[in-house]
DNA sequence: CCGCCGATCTTT
DNA sequence: AAGATCGGCGGG
């Protein structure tokens, strides 16, 4: 079932490992979350919200349980679940999925570079492309689930997820705020 | 399999 | 000027 608002109304470092093994879905396309990173607002120089609210990151400062989608490197989208309390600027970046349904559509959306199932959603920009998530989905309510949902289908988070530093950061790269499902072939990198 | 580099454009 | 990335290319 769909996660409720209170699930997200916590520190992203608590929410992130709890999101492992949950199911992210848009329409017919869905995948199991196998890799996440926490971004911690004013205490986190790696977070988009570190320097306060802007037009781009406004959703991050809104109520929890909404999707923050940003555009980067001139060509990629990445998506986050907003956490904590309204105004705090906290979020969890979804970094990889294990594809579950709609695999034919995902393969079409990803294009010829995705030759195997593990190429479909093994990175934050790959999974948004596979599911068709873009800036138009910025702010989508994950709790009402009208467009995009995150649900618990009965698979518990791993008892011992792997915990490492985050990927691709120049500032704040020392914090161990990345978690992934051990030995899962769909993570972005070990 | 690994590492380097270019693409491409918004934000600072 | 750099970025919460990706894919192609060359080398081991």
Query: pLDDT tens, A79-121?
Result: 999 999 999 999 999 999 999 999 999 999 999 999 999 999 9
Average pLDDT for A21-41: 98
Strand B contact set, beta carbon < 7 A? A 51, 54-57, 71, 73-75
Residues facing residue A179 across a β-bridge: A36, A163
The stretch A33-45 carries a mean pLDDT of 97
Residues 124-163 of chain A with CB under 7 A from strand C are 124-126
| Positions on chain C within 7 A of a protein C-beta | 2-8
Q: Could you read off the pLDDT of A146-187 as tens digits, one per residue?
A: 999 999 999 999 999 999 999 999 888 899 999 999 999 999
> What is the full DSSP assignment across A87-104?
TS-EEEEEEEEEEEE-HH
Distance A58 CA to C4 C1' (A): 16
Q: What pLDDT, on the 0 to 100 scale, is given for residue A30?
A: 98
Whether CB of A170 is under 7 Å from strand C: the answer is yes
Output DSSP code: residue A66. Answer: B
Please provide the average confidence, as pLDDT, over all residues in chain A: 96
Query: A127 and A23 in contact (C-beta within 8 Å)?
Result: no
pLDDT at A93: 98
Amino acid A169 CA to nucleotide C2 C1' distance, rounded Å: 12
Please state, for a pLDDT cut of 90, what percent of chain A lies above it: 97
What confidence score (pLDDT) does residue A170 get? Answer: 87
């Amino acid at each position: 079932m769909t996660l409720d608002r209170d699930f997200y109304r916590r520190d992203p470092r608590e929410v992130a490992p709890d999101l492992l093994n949950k199911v992210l879905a848009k329409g017919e396309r869905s995948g199991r979350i196998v890799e996440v990173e926490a971004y911690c607002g004013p205490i986190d120089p790696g977070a988009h919200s570190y320097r306060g609210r802007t037009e781009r990151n406004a959703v991050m400062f809104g109520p929890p349980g909404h999707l923050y989608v940003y555009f980067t490197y001139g060509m990629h989208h990445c998506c986050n679940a907003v956490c904590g309390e309204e105004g705090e600027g906290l979020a969890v970046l979804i970094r990889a999925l294990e594809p579950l349904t709609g695999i034919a559509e995902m393969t079409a959306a990803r294009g010829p570079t995705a030759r195997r199932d593990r190429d479909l959603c093994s990175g934050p920009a790959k999974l948004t492309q596979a599911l068709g998530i873009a800036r138009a989905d910025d702010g989508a309510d994950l709790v009402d689930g009208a467009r995009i949902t995150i649900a618990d289908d009965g698979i518990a988070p791993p008892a011992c997820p792997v915990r490492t530093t985050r990927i691709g950061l120049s500032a704040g790269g020392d914090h161990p705020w990345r978690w992934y499902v051990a030995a899962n072939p769909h993570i972005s990198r070990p």
